[in-house]
Structure 1
Amino acid sequence: MKAHLKFAGLATIASLFVAANSAQARELDPSDPTDAVEIMKRTQCGEADNVPAVYHWSGRGYSRVRGEPDSLLFKLQGMNVRQCITVEDAERGKGYRMVSREVMFYVDPETNEILRTWDNPWTGETTNVMHVANDPVNSRASYPYSADGKPYALPNFRQQDDWLFMPFEAPLFYHNVLAGDYQDYVGNKYHAMEIFDFTMRASEVLDSENSTAYPAIAWVRVSDWLPWMKMRGRQGQMVFNATGAKLKSYDDLPAIIKDEIALNYPIYNAPPPVDDSRKNETTWTVFKKMIDEQRAKEKGEEKAGGGH
């Protein structure tokens, strides 16, 4: 009898513990600014502060030239490694900041090998391929309320059954570091459109007991020719289309990415430190630095050789 009473007592305690935890668990409300920030943090970040998260995507890059059929130029294999940290503000509330770095490799569509050089079908010239290697790609802190008190809202957020969709477009039109100082008058500004479409399970991301979520992502980019293609102002543009997802760990990346990172981009297996305050990089800023360094080196060699 005593054993039965003891068992009954333990069962009662266990049921009370489960009931207490269930009472604490709730479904996040996307219309609430605080919960909206938490939903976005789960979409973007790892399981906790200072714990890395990795996104992977793969797809194709096409040319689009007036009067010509679109042409597949190369396949794409990319990843972004990031981490977040909680930030708090007395007026704006509790939010987060994300730091990251990313690579994207251009892959031969026939051999599925990472390209080192590329034969330009329009100019007949062979150019060296400069893969995407942007460090850092950081974001500003996100809070439930802006500095002027405006509540945070998820971009184009909608739910259909257990699926949550969060698409947003980033129209880009700003100073091109590879062009001159008179872009407002003669053009050549950096002009692109990036489209991100996140898809996730509501039962995962809205459950307050989950620390993060693992969405799928689609990425589309329409932009000018890449600078390393050396197109000399030729009419046309690039169209990229890729899909992917947040991964459970860095080890889940395809071998083609991990091998290339280990060989040529070793720092890209981990995110920048959370206090990173450097200016963000793009293909255009990285390419400019590379060309400037090459020219400075050539000028130094010419000077050392006496101009002969």
Structure 2
Amino acid sequence: MDSNWMNKPHTRRDALGSMLMAGSMAGGGLLLSACAGSGGLQKAKAERVPVDLKDPAQSLRTFIKLTGDLDPVKETPGWFGGTIFGDTQRNRPLMPLIGVEGFGVVRTEVQPDGSFKVFNRECAFYKDLKTGEFIDKWTNPYTKEVCDVKPIHNLTVNAHLIVSEKFGTAIEMDFDGKLMAVPLRLGWETFGDKLFSTFEVHTAFPSELTPEKWPRESAGKVLRIAEIFQRFASLAEVENPATTSADYSGTWTRVGPWLPWMRQGQADGSLLFRTFMTKLSGIDQLPAGLRRITEERLPEFFQAPPASSWGSKNDSSFSVYAKESTPLPPK
């Protein structure tokens, strides 16, 4: 995939596509449900219909089948978990800072023109690397300050995925009354019966948390984020016409700015998220600890957004923080 399609700061209009695709997962991610899983996996039968992944329409349909479910009534959960590293100086190794574990729930609706409405919701909690326990307080190893940990809870992260004459596959959205399409570049590789999927987002866009208003929480005027989603699946399952969903496991890698609650301000450096992710057959497959803390704090995140959420503004960790918090005074 060409990683330079959005490699510099943009105007508010141009940044819309960036914010949509990088808006989740601490921003974390696209459709993270990129962290999306399966709402009812069916065992593949022997029958197969070969998929032409160079054809945009078939590529998009395969992407939906892999990341979610072609059945519009089925909701698909998916788990992710791993470690977040801090990168501050080129002459020092990365520092493991904190663990992260969460899940997304996605539902898709195919449209008469072959496009898909994607309804996605995602949440995650942070963990102590030594104990593996979920935490509400975290000591910043750089500043020694004790910080209040803010979980990821993006209630709405919807998208309209289309086949575009200009881009092949794209994300379409309305902005100021004008319909816009942003490239959705899907990478595929096959190796025997293995199917490898790569989806990348490389972007930079204006931050909702400006340094002037949020001196201790803002990482700067521009947020630069890279997200790489890699999935591994059975080609036989993907090509089975009798199924609406195909299982996957994979990885989510993210390079992005400090999280607002870390109180790093405009300090040099960035975060590297290194996580595994996998599709689930249902919410009951979530790890017990993750399910319990979600039931206690964010029970509404076990379902995908309702149809009535279509057209509403998408959430991100940065926009949610700005909405729920007040700026800390300068140090």
* TM-score above 0.5: yes
**1:149 Cα deviation from its structure 2 partner:** 6.4
Paired residues for 1:207-226 under 5 Å: 207-226=240-259
Q: State the 1:180 CA deviation.
A: 5.7
Report what 1:80 is aligned to: 104
After TM superposition, the structure 1 = structure 2 runs for residues 1-308 of structure 1, keeping only pairs within 5 Å, are 26-46=49-69, 48-66=71-89, 67-88=91-112, 93-140=113-160, 142-143=161-162, 145-146=163-164, 148=165, 151-152=168-169, 155-179=186-210, 188-276=221-309, 277-292=311-326
Higher percent of residues as helix: 1
From the superposition, tell whether residues 151 and 116 of structure 1 become closer, same or farther in structure 2 (CA, over 3 Å): closer
Q: Aligned to 2:121, what secondary structure does the other structure show? A: strand
Q: Tell me the C-alpha RMSD between the 2 structures.
A: 2.3
Deviations 1:248-284 (A, max 9, x none): 1111011121111100001001111134222111111
Q: Aligned partners of 2:94 and 2:114: how far apart in 1?
A: 47
Structure 1, unaligned stretches of length 5 or more? 1-21, 182-186, 296-308
Aligned residue for 2:60, secondary structure, equals helix
User: Cα offset for 1:116?
Assistant: 0.4
After superposition, the Cα gap between the structure-2 partners of 1:95 and 1:65, relative to the gap in structure 1 and judged at 3 Å, is same
Matched residues in 2 for 1:74 and 1:275: separation?
36
- 1:171-193: per-residue Cα shift (whole Å, max 9, x none)? 12001000169xxxxx6201111
Q: 1:191 to 1:151 in 2, by over 3 A?
A: closer
Q: Secondary structure at the match of 2:261?
A: helix
Check conservation: 2:99, 2:129, Cα contact below 8 A: yes
Larger relative contact order (CA 8 Å, sep ≥ 6): 2
Partner Cα separation in structure 2 for residue 188 and residue 161 of structure 1? 46
TM-score for both structures, normalised by structure 2: 0.74
The answer as to whether partners of 1:137 and 1:281 remain within 8 angstroms in 2 is yes
Distance, in Å, in 1 between the alignment partners of 2:299 and 2:239 is 35
* Equivalent pair of 1:45/1:98 in contact (CA under 8 Å): no
**Mapped partners of 1:123, 1:191: distance in 2:** 23
| Residue type at the aligned position of 2:320 | V
Separation of aligned partners in 1, 2:271 and 2:65: 32
How far off is 1:151 after superposition?
A: 4.0
**C-alpha distance in 2 between matches for 1:163 and 1:124:** 46
Give the Å deviation of 1:236.
Answer: 1.4
Amino acid at match of 1:286: V
Counterpart amino acid of residue 260 in structure 2:
P
Distance in 2 between the 1:115 and 1:180 partners?
A: 27
Normalization by structure 1: what TM-score?
Answer: 0.79
| Change over 3 Å in CA distance of 1:234–1:150 after alignment to 2 | closer
Pairwise CA distance, 1:124: 2.0
Residues of 2 paired with 1:262 and 1:290: CA distance?
20
Aligned CA distance change for structure 1 residues 149 and 174 (closer, same or farther; 3 Å): closer
Tell me the secondary structure at the aligned position of residue 147 of structure 2. strand
> Larger C-alpha radius of gyration, 1 or 2?
1
Task: Output the CA distance in 2 between the equivalents of 1:236 and 1:150.
Answer: 33
**Once the 2 structures are TM-superposed, how far is the Cα of residue 25 of structure 1 from its aligned partner?**
5.9
Report if the CA contact (8 A) 2:158-2:314 is conserved: yes
2: CA distance, partners of 1:137 / 1:260: 21
TM-aligned CA deviation for residue 170 of structure 1: 0.5
Change (3 A) 1:149 1:256: same
In 2, Cα distance between equivalents of 1:132 and 1:198: 22
Conservation of the 8 A alpha-carbon contact between 2:70 and 2:109: no
State how far apart, in whole Å, the 1-side matches of 2:242 and 2:55 are: 17
